[in-house]
Amino acid sequence: MRDLLKKLTEAPGISGFEDEIRNLMMDELEGHVDEVEVDNMGNMIALKKGKEGGKRVMLAAHMDEIGLLVRYIDKEGFIKFSKIGGINDQMLLNQEVTIHTSNGTVTGVIGSKPPHRMKEAERKKVIGYEDMFIDIGASDREEAEGMVKLGDPIIINQEFAELGKTLVKGKALDNRVGCAVLIEVMKQAETDATLYGVGTVQEEVGLKGAKTSAFKINPDMAIALDVTISGDHPGIKEDEAPAKAGKGPAIILADASGRGIMTHPKVKELLISAADEEGIPYQLEVSEGGTTDASAIHLTREGIPTGVISPPTRYIHTPVSVVNVEDVENAVKLILAVLKRI
């Protein structure tokens, strides 16, 4: 699992530019599924055929990560950028980035006005991304335009590494964790159901790939594979994020205070009973925060019973996050147990 997570997290793939992640997932699944296709949106749909007349089950893991996009190049050759996905401005400053262009990659550094030249009031404020820029070492606009183009995707650099015995850190664990779970389930699944493993695009900017792929597949049931906030570190209250790394994957009962998914009662019962019967550790969560592909899937066509399984992950939507590998492995076990019961 660690090797797979490393490959997935170190590959680039902001929303709208998921090609490398999709190709990596397709390579991993080769020989383990009956069919793989890429739809008009760029979603990867892997099919593992079940028994004739069996249920159709969709597993969805979004492939995209948060990132940046080249928006403007000034006359001195510095780059202004747009944010893609939910990003807190204060985490961007002085990060090393890689711009992916049609001719290769370009390294840059996010800079801003130095504190030595700020007034006291300025130093107390969080610097907004609109006051930042990317330095790629160009001397002027012409040189910079020879290196990058408007609309090129930008990744914040971060290496994968192990932390202690069971934790790993890396970029884009939201949602390369879900992608890893999807790959392992598709490889190992034994079920009468026909299984659709979908790597969705553009979740971070509107659940877009989930909407179109769910409409195409029209499954009898779906499970979104994502991450959730781990509330086991300083600065966060237990009642704000009760799920903890190392205590098992979270079964989401509701998110976004109900504006997102309200897990279907039959799916909830199936997930919990499978975990209890197999002795798989899990946590239950009612979230007031963000949402997942499940919100789009369950509202498709006349409605699709949908659930969410999410390993708790520290520091999501930042340049580096942390997950317990045992939670990821138990998420795989839980989904395999569920599929045996369908």
The domain that holds 42 is classified in CATH as 3.40.630.10
What is the identity of the amino acid at 38? V
Give the integer Cα–Cα distance in Å for 316 and 171: 9
- pLDDT band of 118, cuts 50, 70, 90: low
For the segment 138-148, the average pLDDT, to the nearest whole number, is 98
Supply the pLDDT for residue 114.
Answer: 73
Domain contains 164? no
Last residue of a domain, one of 156, 191, 216: 156
Whether residue 207 is predicted with pLDDT greater than 80 in this model: the reply is yes
Among 110-119, 126-135, 165-174, 175-184, whose mean pLDDT is lowest?
110-119
For the segment 298-319, the average pLDDT, to the nearest whole number, is 96
pLDDT tens digits along 83-117: 999 999 999 999 999 999 999 999 999 998 776 66
Q: Tally the domains of the chain.
A: 2
Supply the pLDDT for residue 239.
Answer: 85
pLDDT tens digits along 182-196: 999 999 999 999 999
Task: Provide the percentage of residues in the chain whose pLDDT is more than 70.
Answer: 97
Q: Which residues are catalytic?
A: 203
| Boundaries of domain holding 275 | 2-65+171-340
Whether residue 6 is predicted with pLDDT greater than 80 in this model: the reply is yes
**Token duo for residue 205:** 């900017």
Domain contains 226? yes
Whether residue 81 is predicted with pLDDT greater than 90 in this model: the reply is yes
Quick one: 131 and 199 in the same domain? no
DSSP annotation of 105: E
- pLDDT band of 126, cuts 50, 70, 90: confident
Give the residue ranges of DSSP H helices in the chain: 2-10, 19-29, 120-123, 141-145, 173-188, 208-217, 265-278, 293-297, 325-340
Quick one: 150 and 176 in the same domain? no
Quick one: 20 and 129 in the same domain? no
Domain contains 165? no
Give the integer Cα–Cα distance in Å for 84 and 224: 21
Give the integer Cα–Cα distance in Å for 246 and 175: 18
- Of residues 158 and 125, the one with the higher pLDDT is 158
Quick one: 194 and 124 in the same domain? no
Asked if 312 contacts 177 with a C-beta cutoff of 8 angstroms, the reply is no
Q: Give residues with Cβ within 8 angstroms of 232, minimum separation 6.
A: 244, 245, 246, 312, 314
When the pLDDT of each residue in the chain is averaged and rounded to a whole number, the result is: 95
Whether residue 162 is predicted with pLDDT greater than 90 in this model: the reply is yes
Whether residue 120 is predicted with pLDDT greater than 80 in this model: the reply is no
Last residue of a domain, one of 127, 156, 185: 156
- pLDDT band of 203, cuts 50, 70, 90: very high
Give the integer Cα–Cα distance in Å for 42 and 117: 46
Give the integer Cα–Cα distance in Å for 182 and 180: 5
Alpha carbon separation from 96 to 133, 136, 154, 168 (Å, rounded): 12, 10, 10, 21
Among 121-125, 296-300, 302-306, 330-334, whose mean pLDDT is lowest?
121-125
Give the integer Cα–Cα distance in Å for 66 and 317: 7
Last residue of a domain, one of 156, 180, 205: 156
Alpha carbon separation from 194 to 21, 81, 277, 283 (Å, rounded): 24, 43, 23, 28
Domain contains 161? no
